[in-house]
Structure 1
């Protein structure tokens, strides 16, 4: 048995079912082993798309998303997608091929110092020098992703290492990291609080029902970050909604007036806490590198929440008395992007939504009501254009649910080649392209903040219907609101592309 075969065995033993990627010379031993395994490989058409698909696969399943590619340009093309997952703390496995150990960091063909490059956008990067180290690295990575999930882990695999028959299969002795030294002090602070507030991030989703029970019992209001949306349904009165720069009115008041903010499983970015008083923050996260505030607790949310005690408080009624509807103008106007998005959400209220980066994402964020976790996907912290379509593919494969992709015409073209992947896998994904023939947010920023005329923001687009047809995908173009409403009444099934011609529209700025 060679090392590559053992690595694929380990992936199977750990329940890996799908891998997204593109083969190449240096990673070929892994592909030969994969071809004989029960793991399904999804051939994307660009490596960035493989990373975004693996990201969405992790978010929407109980499994680990995996992406794989070869050395040099293949590995470098992964970096953007991996960086996006890293900033959103998405645990996924990154496998890259490389030249033989003795030449991989030199001037050889397609040689780059991949570990040095990836270690900036992953939580851990391994570059094993022999078979034993490779087997150990994969075991450690899989254990860490399941039990200490901070974000992506990368393993760089040289061709000669993969082909080696010389390796030891060493068992791990691996413990989750934790530092509970601030727990007692935090407990005392929480019990003194009169206006505590829960803020749930993606790391709290698995414990959402337990947190909901505690919140209801002690009448502690809940808010969520972008990535935590749906952990508790936004139709539930205990959940005040989204926190941060796009906060709901109730959540904004709660954040301003709370005397004890209990942040669970979130990185606590400046977009979530734009004007944070760190003296009132109790921050729980398994990743010590993101902890902020006076009371920093490194540990698993479940372990910490089963330890903490709470008092019943009486302030949620004053928060619920506030009108929590986020006002979005133009939702009935002909034909604005927000009008189209509103009707798409009304029609597909139980689908997984994969958005991209652009003005449509702002309108989607404001109009969407999250009833379930990880049903609204977009790259929150990095916002690379081109996320939507490959993320929709990854989510559809993970969930087998109807998936809706909402793109602008600009971001769609960043990864439009993945229409081929969509068709090859015959997925129930409907791709909506809101076509305003411009990079809308860039144009708005130029005009509003730089006192300049629009420059290099107009787009000359292809014929999207012919493009879809070239991939064998049905497509339709809509340019009137009443036609969209009529179309959405039909029994629609993907693969399907819908181009909607919309007006140029500025996004509402945070208040």
Structure 2
């Protein structure tokens, strides 16, 4: 058994049953081992697609997503997608092949400093120099991804290391270095609070059940980050929706008038906290993102088990304020927001994946998540091309129907992954809102730079013929009546639905 064989054996032992990738020369020993394993390998058509798919796999299920690539061209093709996962703290494993160790720091064919590049966009980037180190860093990476899930971890594997047959393997057993020293200080603030407020982020998803029990027992209102939507169902009156730049009046009032704000598993970015409150308790496993006067470095689970809450009564005061966005055009023919509203109503219980563009704003504002992990999109990096490959990962991880809401511009960034959808016969339905332009860029040009539209108009292909060339059924609609008629049917993927829409400016944050 060589190192590559043992890597695959460890992945199987750890319950990893699916990986995404593309084979190549330097990673071939690992692919030989995979070919003799029980692991399902999903062949994507581009390495960026493989990494986005691993991201969607993790976001939708909480399981470890894995992407595998060969050396430089393959590894560097993942950069945008790995950076996307890094910015949103998505815990996934990135395995890259490399030339033999003797070629490091040379101008050898397909040798680049890929470790140096990827280390800036991963939680950790390892470069084992022998087989024993490879075993150690793999086990350490999986431990961290499961127990301290702060972001992607990269392991760079030279071909000669993968082929080594003399190495030691071992079990790891160590604990996360939590710092709960501020618990008593936080407890004093909570004890004195009459108007507490939770802000829930992606790091709190695993504790959704206990959080719901707590907020309902003590009547504590909640808001969320974009990626925390659905931890408390957004149809619940205790769920005030998004906090920060896209807050509804109720959530904004709650944030401005709370005497104790408890952030669970949030990154506390400028999009979530428009200002830094002096009564902010911040709980996160990532010490580097902690802010405020009450930082708690540890798991949300441990914090919730240590803290005692009490009944409060200020929800009625909050609910006196408006609980909805003031959005126009929701019933206008050919407006993107009216099409998105109807798509979301039809697929209210399905996983929705949004790409990047003006449609993302409409989707995040209109989608009411009934459970966590129901709306997937890149919040902090927002690359075009995320939607389709992420939906592939989400469908494979959950087995559920997945709906992609794309624009015509971002869809074309990774449209080759239609082949992956077809090859695996995935129940993925792709809606392309086609306005033949980069609409949000046009809006920025006109509103902020006093420009005429410049380099934003798109001469698009025939999306129906394009989908058909991959063997995928496709439909085009150009009005609300036809869209509603299509949505009345029992739709199953693979399917592409092109919706012709007019250009429309998105509402800007207040």
Match of 2:505 in 1: 506
> Contact 1:444–1:506 at 8 Å: present in 2 too?
yes
Root-mean-square deviation (Å): 0.9
Q: For residues 323-372 of structure 1, what are the alpha-carbon distances to aligned partners after superposition, in whole Å with 9 as ceiling and x for unaligned?
A: 31222210111110001001111111111101000000101111111101
Match of 2:364 in 1: 365
Match of 2:332 in 1: 333
Structure 1: gaps (5+ residues): none
- Structure-2 separation of matches of 1:177 and 1:126: 21
TM-score, length-scaled by structure 2: 0.99
Match of 1:310 in 2: 309
Q: How does 1:465-476 map to 2 (within 5 A)?
A: 465-476=464-475
Q: How does 1:230-241 map to 2 (within 5 A)?
A: 230-241=230-241
> Contact 1:203–1:264 at 8 Å: present in 2 too?
yes
- Structure-2 separation of matches of 1:480 and 1:492: 18
> Contact 1:15–1:63 at 8 Å: present in 2 too?
no
Q: How does 1:21-60 map to 2 (within 5 A)?
A: 21-60=21-60
> Contact 1:177–1:286 at 8 Å: present in 2 too?
no
Aligned pairs, number:
510
Structure 1 position 7 matched with structure 2 position 7:
yes
- Structure-2 separation of matches of 1:128 and 1:410: 40
Q: For residues 423-469 of structure 1, what are the alpha-carbon distances to aligned partners after superposition, in whole Å with 9 as ceiling and x for unaligned?
A: 00001111000000000010000000011111100000011011101
> Contact 2:195–2:257 at 8 Å: present in 1 too?
yes
Match of 1:75 in 2: 75
Offset at residue 321 of structure 1 (A): 2.4
> Contact 1:328–1:366 at 8 Å: present in 2 too?
no
- Structure 1 SS opposite 2:95: strand
- Structure-2 separation of matches of 1:282 and 1:12: 39
Match of 1:285 in 2: 284
Q: Which moves more between the two structures, 187-196 or 340-349?
A: 187-196
- Structure 1 SS opposite 2:26: coil
Offset at residue 194 of structure 1 (A): 2.0
Offset at residue 502 of structure 1 (A): 0.2
- Structure-2 separation of matches of 1:483 and 1:84: 36
- Structure-2 separation of matches of 1:106 and 1:301: 46
Offset at residue 311 of structure 1 (A): 2.5
Structure 1 position 173 matched with structure 2 position 173:
yes
> Contact 1:21–1:44 at 8 Å: present in 2 too?
yes
Q: Which moves more between the two structures, 32-41 or 166-175?
A: 166-175
- Structure-2 separation of matches of 1:54 and 1:262: 31
- Structure-2 separation of matches of 1:292 and 1:52: 29
Offset at residue 183 of structure 1 (A): 1.6
- Structure-1 separation of matches of 2:444 and 2:361: 14
> Contact 1:430–1:495 at 8 Å: present in 2 too?
yes
- Structure-2 separation of matches of 1:193 and 1:372: 28
Offset at residue 98 of structure 1 (A): 0.5
Structure 1 position 101 matched with structure 2 position 101:
yes
TM-score, length-scaled by structure 1: 0.98
Match of 1:164 in 2: 164
Offset at residue 191 of structure 1 (A): 1.3
Offset at residue 213 of structure 1 (A): 1.5
> Contact 1:409–1:437 at 8 Å: present in 2 too?
yes
- Structure-1 separation of matches of 2:217 and 2:493: 43
- Structure-2 separation of matches of 1:296 and 1:106: 45
> Contact 1:66–1:93 at 8 Å: present in 2 too?
yes
Offset at residue 104 of structure 1 (A): 2.6
- Structure 1 SS opposite 2:209: helix
